[in-house]
Amino acid sequence: MKTLGIARCRGMGRLRKNAPACLFGFCDLWETLPPRPVQWHLFSQLTLTKILKILFISILLAAATTAPAHPVAFDGASQLMFGTVGSVQTLEFYRSYSARAAVGLHAMRFDGEEDEIFTGLQHNWLLKRWNLPSAQANVYAGVGAGLAGEVGQGASPAGIGFFRADYETRRVYTAIDAKWVESADVSRGVFSASAGIAPYEAEFDQLNTWLILQVEHVTGMEDKLDIIPKVRFFKGPYFLELGSTLRGKPVVNFMIHF
């Protein structure tokens, strides 16, 4: 019965994806449980606090995919981003040590036939910014190193790289993103292009609303191309995106600066 958790994690398709302890490879939580019938595991062995912790982590990570890309914020800022877009989930935390550079942690999960995970350290650069009277344009790039592998199958050294360019006025938004993860077992690329409009010009202290259409392709996935209509809201240091792929997969992105 020691292997019960593994069997559930590796062998039960949708159940695996929905099992909170299995998100982002936390299957160890299941493996360490003492031998009991399946239905006893969570409710008899875990305290309420542990269940709440797992639920909190699950909600956080279930909300995670290609997070809203804001690789470098202002000097001294910390930024937490997580999101879920189609088959890719992302969790990122960076500290900007200048207005042009940030360093932090990056975790990604690709839900495919074999779920894959990358976790590592990453450095981001704002390569170029154009501060125009009524617009701003940016070019970002970043590289990182960590571990990647199939869930429950061990991990090997991995590298990650990304490139992003965006242009924004108070009414128009456009962006292109490319991200690569490479290791002995994992080779994924995430490519996206976005365009959006703001139905009104929000002031600094008002709720900002954007209507955005994103096209995303993840190499090696069954879905060749995801078309994603979404709504973006932000106010103060809080940022939220809600949407869905045309195939019905939910899109949720959250970001905060502090």
242 near other proteins, rule: CB under 8 A: no
Burial class (CB in 10 A: 0-12, 13-18, 19+), 46: middle
32 near other proteins, rule: CB under 8 A: no
Q: Report which of 103, 73, 57 is spatially closest to residue 258, judged by C-alpha positions.
A: 73
- The alpha carbon torsion through 142, 130, 258, 158 (nearest 10 deg) reads -10
> Out of 3, 18, 206, 219, which residue is the one contacting other proteins (CB under 8 A)?
206
Q: How far apart are CA 46 and CA 235, in angstroms?
A: 38
Helix (H, G, I), strand (E, B) or coil at 69: coil
Touching other proteins, residues 53-112 (CB under 8 A): 70, 73-77, 98-99
Q: How far apart are CA 56 and CA 46, in angstroms?
A: 14
> Out of 93, 234, 244, 249, which residue is the one contacting other proteins (CB under 8 A)?
234
> Out of 45, 237, 242, 247, which residue is the one contacting other proteins (CB under 8 A)?
237
132 near other proteins, rule: CB under 8 A: yes
49 near other proteins, rule: CB under 8 A: no
Please name the helix (run of DSSP H) or strand (run of DSSP E) that holds residue 31, with its range, or none: helix 28-31
**What residue type is 190 in one-letter code?**
V
**Closest separation between CB of residue 143 and other proteins, Å?**
21
208 near other proteins, rule: CB under 8 A: yes
Nearer to other proteins (CB atom), residue 72 or residue 158: 72
Q: Which residues bind other proteins (CB under 8 A)?
A: 70, 73-77, 98-99, 126, 129-136, 168-170, 201-206, 208, 234-237, 239, 257
